[in-house]
Structure 1
């Protein structure tokens, strides 16, 4: 799907009513999911945004927006009735079927923004991966029931579009997605929050959820080989204690940093000369992490494992280092970031700036708003008549 950039005029002036968008989310406000936070903050000037979440986060971040909880589809539909949105929106491909059901019942059109974790599973496996899948008797993700239901919801006329990374397009199409509903989009980063051309410190950092595919012990090994540099690991997840134990065994001396509030992260990046992201080459499931663009915007040099061909599109030609082994990096992280690489990093990070590409989402919304908006009294009556839930649970706003 091709779009023309025409950012909406501000709807916050006197006498103007903002269109209403209800976010239906699985988990909010999780400190490791600033994707959603960034998007909401970039849109709330022009749209009246409501937020409904099904789950409480493990570690919430501060300064989040008001939200309510709804655990069942009945409760979600009731939330739609209460907020009276013009549009629905969610994050993650795995939520597509659910929002599609709510949309079908209520008649409110919807959009979806996918992430790395939910689309990269659809990447065609190599020979070793296919053998491992067969030995474990795993159902390929592209044949899973949840994806079948998601793709069916995507076919609805109420689905305005599904945003995803450019690399995810062929994986989704191979899985059966309607190509005309897919919109290529870089990650959601508030570029201006991180953009800082001043000098950086000389520490080395890594950041992310501690999982096997992130191969964070590689970062510990690198730290041990470069003892004259400070190494900071901004680790999250229940396996962090295990990683601390590994660090003690190796004598790597890596500082394990507790979760940091999103507003404080720009200053954290500026302490560092290099960001070394790690990943398991045997399971190349690391996606397009926001930390790469955030660090580039802050003037930090990037080292990213050369897991797949698509990563050069994200890191940028000459804007970072794609390494084939952690053993290549001691000399690199001991030296300054080449100035040309740093400059290219600033420009590459701009591709993820939500202020530059939010029109890819709002164009879909604005086009839908030109049509007829839902009649909530008819929705309530139709849903009750269909037996989806008791009529009492669908009290129509006065």
Structure 2
């Protein structure tokens, strides 16, 4: 019998949430799926799959009862209580899939006392809508008899095992449709920027000197905040072009215009294991990224990418690209994250398709 899976998201379909988009598409090929979100996406795209929105928990439960799911899968940790409540109400199991920035919402002990106090006195729904987490609510979720799994990137497992039984904490890797991006044809000569180039506090463009020294064109797609397209940011080099985001279906062809992709990240966990990195590697694009932590660094280097500790190193790296053999490393590395692996990951929590 075909399984019925309810997927709870923040804003599906959102062009910047590739991990959710790929989950919905793959699961829909093997099960009946309904994706329900708390808000409209800021960067929407056409999706042929079933989705809808809800304003509050009562609307979520009403739609869930009509759908009659066998399993609930929830993305983003602040949505944990929604998955728990609807699963317990419908007497079905649930699993949580986390996002790397979720760890910044976990308040342990008496650190950040004001934030902790707010989560104690405000409703679960109010807390979640501002992307925060109530520790008492999270504890109830961890104790729920319906909880079957909590997925996170391997580097964050020790952190999540402080909050959940280690037996239900599982590794999660980025999964994508490898064959759509694998393309050995020659790449163009432009530079793609992934991440925020704007220092919002100072309203200045970061990496301005590096980008202006690049001989070719530089394209920046400021997903997931299209409003950046209208920001008055001074000192943008003449060769830097701010582009409208591209819908997921356009990305395989879009990558082929670039010889390299510069990844922006500040802080140890400012990046997880980014989907854009393996997409670029599969498309023959050299990835240049900051050295953040051991697992992220390996993720870049295993695919033939380059690491820098200071932005002054970037021009020298760009001058070396392309290097023989690097593209082949990228193809091989990207192939390890094919979407088919999602099925084995979900089987760990008892969701067998």
TM value normalised by structure 2: 0.85
- Comparing both chains, which one has the higher relative contact order based on Cα–Cα distances under 8 Å and sequence gaps of 6 or more? 1
Residue 125 of structure 2 corresponds to which residue in structure 1?
Answer: none
Question: Structure 1 151/338 Cα, relative in aligned 2: closer, same or farther at 3 Å?
Answer: farther
Residue 297 of structure 1 corresponds to which residue in structure 2?
Answer: 282
* Aligned-residue offset at 1:244: 6.0
Residue 153 of structure 1 corresponds to which residue in structure 2?
Answer: 141
Question: Structure 1 329/295 Cα, relative in aligned 2: closer, same or farther at 3 Å?
Answer: same
* Aligned-residue offset at 1:70: 2.2
Residue 335 of structure 1 corresponds to which residue in structure 2?
Answer: 320
TM value normalised by structure 1: 0.76
Residue 309 of structure 2 corresponds to which residue in structure 1?
Answer: 324
Residue 39 of structure 1 corresponds to which residue in structure 2?
Answer: 23
Q: Unpaired segments of 5 or more residues in structure 1? A: 1-16, 125-132, 370-398
Instruction: Assess if the C-alpha contact under 8 Å between 2:195 and 2:222 holds in 1.
Output: yes
**In the alignment, is residue 69 of structure 1 matched against residue 57 of structure 2?**
no
Computing the radius of gyration from Cα coordinates, the structure with the larger value is 1
- Equivalent position to 2:181, from 179, 191, 194: 194
Question: Structure 1 210/23 Cα, relative in aligned 2: closer, same or farther at 3 Å?
Answer: farther
Residue 58 of structure 1 corresponds to which residue in structure 2?
Answer: 42
d(CA) in 1 for partners of 2:293, 2:4: 40
**In the alignment, is residue 118 of structure 1 matched against residue 88 of structure 2?**
no
1:1-398 equivalent positions in 2, closer than 5 A: 17-119=1-103, 146-174=134-162, 176-208=163-195, 212=199, 217-226=205-214, 228-236=215-223, 237=225, 240-241=228-229, 245-246=233-234, 249-281=235-267, 285-317=270-302, 319-366=304-351
Q: Deviations over 1:140-163 (max 9, x none)?
A: 999975244224313322111111
Instruction: Assess if the C-alpha contact under 8 Å between 1:154 and 1:181 holds in 2.
Output: no
* Aligned-residue offset at 1:139: 5.1
Q: Deviations over 1:252-311 (max 9, x none)?
A: 420111111110011111111111101225x75232221111101111111111122331
Instruction: Assess if the C-alpha contact under 8 Å between 1:211 and 1:239 holds in 2.
Output: no
- Structure 1 stretch 58-67 or stretch 82-91: which is displaced more? 58-67
SS in 1 for 2:327: helix
Q: Deviations over 1:311-368 (max 9, x none)?
A: 123224462111101110112113323233222222222233221233211453446x
Residue 376 of structure 1 corresponds to which residue in structure 2?
Answer: none
d(CA) in 1 for partners of 2:298, 2:262: 18
Residue 12 of structure 1 corresponds to which residue in structure 2?
Answer: none
d(CA) in 1 for partners of 2:42, 2:2: 32
Q: Unpaired segments of 5 or more residues in structure 2? A: 121-131
Aligned residues: 338
- Structure 1 stretch 68-77 or stretch 312-321: which is displaced more? 312-321
Question: Structure 1 205/186 Cα, relative in aligned 2: closer, same or farther at 3 Å?
Answer: same
Instruction: Assess if the C-alpha contact under 8 Å between 1:21 and 1:86 holds in 2.
Output: yes
Question: Structure 1 360/145 Cα, relative in aligned 2: closer, same or farther at 3 Å?
Answer: closer
Q: RMSD of the TM alignment (CA)?
A: 3.1
Q: Deviations over 1:2-27 (max 9, x none)?
A: xxxxxxxxxxxxxxx31111112221
